[in-house]
């Protein structure tokens, strides 16, 4: 889990979101989700003080900013992928 936290921290500190491949249904979520299976989310931040991952989901209103305990986030993770620009514009 330390590697997961370190990777997330290193990218979100630079403002680079992470595409986050997860398995829905392995841990309880708020609001509760039904079903079990693969899904893709976007990690947009981390709160180390509270031990939380901040993410957004594609399911519309109410899913723009969600939080999950880091241990739960690590448990459901299937993969992390960077979304970086090819070059920066000034």
Could you give the number of structural domains in the chain?
A: 1
Q: Tell me if 18 is assigned to some domain.
A: yes
Residues 54/66, Cβ–Cβ less than 8 Å: yes
Secondary structure of residue 62 in the 3-state scheme: coil
Give the model's pLDDT for residue 52: 96
Q: Helical H runs in the chain? A: 2-12, 70-76
- Kindly report the CATH number assigned to the domain that includes residue 76: 2.30.30
User: With a cut of 70, which residues of the chain have pLDDT below it?
Assistant: 88-90
Task: Tell which residue, 34, 45, 36, has the closest CA to residue 68.
Answer: 45
Q: Tell me if 89 is assigned to some domain.
A: no
Q: Tell me if 61 is assigned to some domain.
A: yes
Residues 20/55, Cβ–Cβ less than 8 Å: yes
pTM, full prediction: 0.86
Give the model's pLDDT for residue 88: 64
Give the model's pLDDT for residue 90: 61
């Amino acid at each position: 889990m330390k590697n997961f936290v370190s990777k997330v921290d290193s990218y979100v500190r630079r403002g680079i979101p992470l595409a986050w491949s997860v398995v829905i249904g392995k841990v309880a979520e708020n609001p509760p989700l039904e079903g079990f299976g693969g899904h893709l989310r976007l990690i947009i931040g981390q709160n180390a003080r509270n031990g939380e991952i901040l993410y957004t989901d594609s399911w519309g209103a109410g899913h723009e900013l969600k939080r999950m305990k880091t241990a739960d986030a690590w448990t459901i993770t299937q993969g992390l992928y960077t979304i970086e620009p090819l070059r920066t514009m000034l």
